[in-house]
């Protein structure tokens, strides 16, 4: 009997050891990569310190198992777990942070970079929206002061919860009417977009469609897609109905996390997936899709035009002077997830969409493109997705069945992991940006925006 008990205990111990080894083998590299990338971007782009990042973005298990060494002189962060699975993220001026993911640091640093200089005038001296000078007479209106009170309460309350609100910006009728910043973030702090970056990629494609460089019906999008994937067209890609076999999960090692944190070429990982559904028939939200689109842009435009496009074609035209799109180690913009900008820059993007692509009289994006981007794909059952923008259109037969129950059906938004929002509500002439760290979804844009609407004049 004793031998049987000892044998059973031994089997349990061996099983536990095997599980631990398997967990470490799969998870430690991901923890090191994720943490070093986040730490790198938050320090060198966000201009925060290590303690701030560790106490916020990297505080949760299992990421907090990691040890992250910041080399300010060398502009890089090295992550490891108990000294194992070392991974490195490097910072490059104008390009943000990039995980090396097995590539040589010198090789990545020496990649050709086509810098687009910022406009040489100060936004502090120019009125909103091109600049940052606000209209005090508008800010002091009683109804907007009440919206400011809502923001202040949210910032104060967030520190008492498991979620943190970093910044909120509210625009009404094109004017910035209220804003707030907290938890080590200021007006100038660049904040991660996470999946809000998808909507930026959409707009970059829109610029090319407007210029007849791209056609929504074009297929044969990648050289390697010589099989049934050659039938996938650009519209399928934008509407997340390409039918590729993909798993969008962030709970551990998955297609999405493998692509973002473990491999040097994000688009290649996603593009290698086989077809699972007939293109155009099945909606499946996918970060891999967005990074393939980014690579298609790169292939079509060539290296210099591709690198210059976001800044010359979009950001610098609408006052987004402090926005940075980060690249993977292969040199492709990780449009699915890694765009860093202050809250006001993200608000400007929302304002451009609210104004149907027009910016102070200049048509940056055509009205036709904005309409396409915010029109539901028929494959989305609740009318919840357009062209890389989330929609609140609702079920075509039951419009009340929608994502944000308290908000109008014409609302649409760019949404990101951990509670990032650029919410646009045309019928209310309203844009709300909320950025923060909300891993459990405790912040409700549905409630907050509905409260703001009640206070609008």
Note the pLDDT tens digit of each residue in 210-267: 999 999 999 999 999 999 999 999 999 999 999 999 999 888 789 999 999 999 999 9
* End position of a domain, from candidates 109, 132, 161: 109
Residue 216 within any structural domain of the chain: yes
pTM confidence score:
0.94
- pLDDT given for residue 247 in this prediction: 95
Note every long-range contact of 156-160, with CB atoms under 8 Å and residues 24 or more positions apart, other chains counting.
156/182, 158/182, 158/183, 158/436, 158/443, 159/183
Same-domain check for residues 96 and 148: no
Structurally, the chain folds into a number of domains equal to 2
Same-domain check for residues 88 and 185: no
Same-domain check for residues 35 and 180: no
Same-domain check for residues 88 and 155: no
Share of the chain above pLDDT 90, in %: 89
pLDDT digits (tens, 9 = 90+) for 334-344: 999 999 999 99
Residue 181 within any structural domain of the chain: yes
Question: Which residues face 341 on adjacent strands?
Answer: 191
The answer to whether 205 touches 294, Cβ cutoff 8 Å, is no
pLDDT digits (tens, 9 = 90+) for 384-418: 999 999 999 999 899 999 999 999 999 999 999 99
Residue 280 within any structural domain of the chain: yes
Strands (E), 355-411: 358-359, 362-363, 390-391
Number of H helices, E strands in the chain: 14, 15
Residue 231 within any structural domain of the chain: yes
User: Other C-beta atoms within 10 Å of 145: how many?
Assistant: 13
Same-domain check for residues 406 and 258: yes
CA distance 125 to 161: 38
Residue 180 within any structural domain of the chain: yes
Task: Fill in the DSSP letter of residue 49.
Answer: -
pLDDT at residue 64 greater than cutoff 60: yes
Same-domain check for residues 64 and 189: no
Same-domain check for residues 44 and 147: no
pLDDT digits (tens, 9 = 90+) for 302-350: 999 999 999 999 999 999 999 999 999 999 999 999 999 999 999 999 9
pLDDT digits (tens, 9 = 90+) for 135-149: 999 999 999 999 999
| Residue that wins the pLDDT comparison between 163 and 120 | 120
- Pick the closest to residue 415 from 246, 287, 252 (CA basis): 287
Give the CATH number for residue 271: 3.40.710.10
CA distance 16 to 301: 52
Same-domain check for residues 79 and 155: no
pLDDT at residue 448 greater than cutoff 80: yes
Same-domain check for residues 95 and 178: no
Same-domain check for residues 90 and 160: no
Residue 49 within any structural domain of the chain: yes
Same-domain check for residues 39 and 156: no
Residue 169 within any structural domain of the chain: yes
Summary mean pLDDT of the chain: 94
Distance of CA 13 to the CA centre of its chain: 42
Report the pLDDT averaged over residues 6-27. 50
Task: Fill in the DSSP letter of residue 246.
Answer: -
Residue 228 within any structural domain of the chain: yes
* End position of a domain, from candidates 57, 87, 109: 109
pLDDT digits (tens, 9 = 90+) for 151-195: 999 998 876 677 899 999 999 999 999 999 999 999 999 999 999
Q: In which domain, by residue range, is 49 found? A: 2-109
Same-domain check for residues 357 and 259: yes
């Amino acid at each position: 009997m004793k031998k049987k008990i000892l044998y059973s205990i031994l089997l349990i111990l061996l099983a536990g050891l095997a599980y631990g080894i398997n967990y470490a083998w799969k998870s430690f590299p991901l923890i090191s990569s994720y943490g070093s990338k986040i730490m790198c971007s938050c320090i060198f782009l966000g201009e925060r310190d290590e303690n701030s990042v560790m106490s916020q973005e990297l505080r949760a298990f299992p990421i907090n198992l990691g040890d992250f060494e910041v080399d300010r002189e060398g502009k890089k962060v090295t992550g490891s777990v108990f000294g194992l699975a070392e991974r490195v993220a490097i910072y490059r001026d104008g390009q943000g942070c990039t995980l090396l993911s097995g590539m040589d640091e010198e090789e990545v640093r020496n990649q050709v970079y086509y810098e687009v200089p910022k406009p040489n005038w100060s936004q502090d001296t120019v009125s909103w929206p091109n600049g940052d000078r606000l209209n005090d007479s508008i800010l002091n209106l009683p109804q907007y002061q009440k919206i400011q009170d809502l923001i202040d309460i949210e910032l104060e309350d967030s520190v008492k919860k498991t979620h943190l609100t970093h910044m909120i910006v509210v625009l009404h009728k094109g004017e910035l009417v209220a804003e707030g910043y907290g938890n080590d973030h200021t007006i100038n702090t660049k904040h991660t977009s996470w999946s809000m970056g998808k909507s930026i990629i959409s707009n970059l494609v829109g610029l090319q469609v407007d210029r007849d460089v791209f056609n929504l019906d074009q297929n044969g999008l990648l050289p390697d897609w010589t099989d049934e994937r050659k039938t996938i067209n650009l519209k399928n890609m934008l509407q997340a109905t390409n039918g590729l076999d993909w798993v969008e999960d962030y709970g551990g090692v998955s297609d999405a996390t493998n692509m973002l944190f473990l491999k040097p070429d994000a688009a290649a990982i996603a593009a290698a997936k086989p077809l699972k559904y007939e293109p155009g028939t099945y909606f499946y939200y996918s970060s891999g899709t967005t990074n393939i689109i980014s690579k298609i842009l790169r292939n079509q435009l060539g290296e210099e035009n591709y690198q210059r496009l976001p800044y010359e074609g979009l950001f610098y035209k609408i006052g987004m002077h402090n926005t940075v799109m980060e690249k993977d180690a292969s040199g492709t913009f990780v449009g699915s997830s890694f765009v860093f900008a202050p809250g006001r820059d993200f608000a400007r993007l929302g304002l451009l969409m609210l104004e149907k692509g027009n910016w102070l009289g200049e048509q940056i994006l055509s009205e036709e493109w904005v309409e396409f981007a915010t029109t539901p794909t028929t494959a989305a059952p609740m009318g919840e997705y357009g062209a890389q923008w989330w929609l609140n259109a609702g079920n075509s037969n039951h419009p009340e069945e929608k994502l944000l129950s308290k908000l109008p059906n014409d609302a649409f938004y760019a949404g990101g992991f951990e509670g990032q929002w650029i919410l646009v509500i045309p019928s209310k002439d309203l844009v709300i940006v909320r950025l923060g760290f909300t891993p459990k979804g405790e912040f409700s844009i549905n409630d907050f925006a509905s409260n703001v609407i009640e206070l609008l004049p």
